[in-house]
Amino acid sequence: MAVKSMAVKSAGAVDLAAAPRAEATGHTAAPAFRLRDLVLEYREGTQVVRPIDGVDLEVPQGEFTCILGPSGHGKSTLLRCLAGLIAPAGGTVEAAGEQVSGPGADRGMVFQQDAIPMWLRVEDNVAFGPRMRGVPPREYRERVDRLITEVGLDDRRRAWPRQLSGGMRKRVAIAAVFANDPDVLLMDEPFSALDFFTRSRLQNLLLQLWAETGKTICFVTHDIDEALVLADRIVVVKDGGIAMDVPVAFPRPRGEELRALPEAQDLRRELLDILGEG
């Protein structure tokens, strides 16, 4: 009960104790995202579906936000809107104070299904973003090499993606997005198809890269445990709106001991109740 009263608060009042601080990472004061009365629609045959209807949300810079929700309730649609891949039917979306009008290098995205170019070898995949944007190689070569090492693919640099396991391909995708040095990472259930151990390893890798870079991360998942391990804040998207917006201030690193923490158990139960309602 104590957790509930602490947890549900407005977006602006989120506790960022566990997040890389904005001032420490050199970010400006403008939030990474500001959503005002956001409405998202898409057509399904002759019907217009409105998965997001009148959402207000602010995501501070440097925060690790998990967007949690049942399948088909608009969390991926919301993320695609933040990426600029779909335009709002109503309301506004701002990224770092600028109106979002389309996709851009400031908002990198890791997709649920493999989206890395299968016709590029690992090292070319990781360097793809900066190379295509015309960044001189001397400015990204070292970062690309370091990221390939950090994601543990040093010995697979010249491999084609088809020669890698699903977990390895996700590591390529994560390295590629970090190599492009965006302000924000948008991740759409990136680990949902992986086994438990691979998923745990990738969660740790992601947290390590996040701690090093202090980037803002918006991570869509339907897995409560994954959200509890990763997030500074959990936003539950359900029935077109935000059903819950809760800070997660448990100490990091969050291993198996998190399960034994009474506050974590309470929050887990509360999230389960909300997700299971209706």
Partner 1 sequence: MTAAVPARARWSAWFWRAVGVAVLLTVWQLIALAVYNLAVLPAPIDVVENLVRNFGGSAGLAYLGLSETSYLGNLRYTAGIVLTAWLVGSALGLSGVVAARLQWVRDLTDPVLYVFGVVPVVVAAPFALIWFGFGPVGQWILVAFFSYVTVAVASLAAALRLAPRYEEYAATLGVAMAARLRTVVLPAVAPATSSAVRVALGAAWSLQVVAELFGSETGVGRVIAVRAKTGDVPSVMAVIIVLGLVALVCDLAVARLAKRSGAWQ
Among 120, 194, 205, 261, binds partner 1 (CB under 8 A): 120
Among 24, 48, 87, 118, binds partner 1 (CB under 8 A): 118
- Residue 138's contacts (CB-CB under 8 Å, 6 or more residues apart) are none
Q: Candidates 57-65, 69-77, 157-165, 252-260 — which segment interacts with partner 1 by CB under 8 A? A: 157-165
Distances (CA, A) of 258 to 207, 227, 230, 261, 262: 16, 12, 11, 5, 9
Q: Whose Cβ is closer to partner 1: residue 128's or residue 250's?
A: 128
Q: Under the criterion CB under 8 A, does residue 6 sit at the interface with partner 1?
A: no
Site for partner 1 in 36-95 (CB under 8 A): 83-85
Q: Whose Cβ is closer to partner 1: residue 28's or residue 160's?
A: 160
Q: Give me the long-range contacts of 89-92 (CB less than 8 A, separation at least 24).
A: 89/39, 89/40, 89/41, 89/50, 90/37, 90/38, 90/39, 90/54, 91/35, 91/36, 91/37, 91/38, 91/39, 91/54, 91/55, 92/34, 92/35, 92/36, 92/37, 92/38
Among 23, 29, 160, 208, binds partner 1 (CB under 8 A): 160
Q: Whose Cβ is closer to partner 1: residue 18's or residue 105's?
A: 105
Structure tokens at 137: 């190689």
> What is the per-residue binding string for partner 1 in 177-216, x denoting contact by CB under 8 A?
x--x-----x------------------------------
- Report the distance separating Cα 256 and Cα 171, nearest Å: 23
Residues that bind partner 1 (CB under 8 A): 83-85, 102-109, 111, 113, 115-120, 128-129, 132-133, 160-162, 176-177, 180, 186
